[in-house]
Amino acid sequence: MASLMEDLINVLNKEEEQYQGLIELGKKKREVVIRADIKTLDEITATEQETASNLQNLAKKRARVLNDMATVLGRNPGEVTITKMISYLEEQPVEQKQLMEVKERLLQTGKEMAAINEQNEILLNQALEMVEFDLTLLKSMRQAPETANYNKNACNTGDLLGSSGFDAKQ
């Protein structure tokens, strides 16, 4: 059981490291979105995908370790969670404390990551709105036959807009 507990704590620590990496990437992403640096944003997204894959593997390993621990304890593997494991360890205060500390760090990291993701979502939505506005403006400028320019006698001068607008390929 002791080696299983070490395995569980190691897996949880590795998960926290991965989430901390995602937090750093999220902070970089915020700056990249503000600068509209598409190339760097693409690189960050690729790194995030790799980290997400690592996290999936760690989650599977954590589930296996918890299942093994449940079997050793004679519990139903589907019911054993980190919180329940903490309560099962009342007679082992050192391991219980370690597990509680790792759990709290993971929860805090998750909250921080959620806040950064929410900020980035807002920034990305604003960037999309600006792109849509720019496209609409360019389309309307191209479709307008003449400008609404008036001379000093309040007569429309009828200046035509050039055809050098934005061409989009579908």
Q: For residue range 102-157, list pLDDT tens digits in order.
A: 999 999 999 999 999 999 999 989 988 988 888 888 887 777 555 556 666 766 55
In a domain, 159, yes or no: no
Residue 151 in any domain: the answer is no
Region of 158 please: left (phi>0), alpha (psi -120 to 50) or beta.
left
**Is residue 94 included in any domain, yes or no?**
yes
Band (pLDDT 50/70/90 cuts) for residue 28 is very high
In a domain, 88, yes or no: yes
Tokens of 158: 């009828």
Residue among 26, 49, 5 nearest 109 (CA): 26
Q: Is 165 a member of any domain?
A: no
Q: Is residue 157 in a domain?
A: no
Model confidence at 11: pLDDT above 60 = yes
Question: Residue 141: what pLDDT?
Answer: 74
Domain count, the chain: 1
- Within-domain flag for 161: no
Three-point CA angle 35, 42, 107, nearest 5°: 90
Give the CATH number for residue 7: 1.20.58
The residue with greater pLDDT, 136 or 170, is 136
Containing structural domain, residue 133: 2-143
Provide the sign of the torsion angle of the four alpha carbons 35, 39, 41, 47, taken in this order: negative
Among 51-55, 79-83, 89-93, 161-165, the least confident range: 161-165
Percent of the chain with pLDDT over 90: 51
The two tokens of residue 160 are 């035509």
Does the structure show a pLDDT above 90 at 169? Answer: no
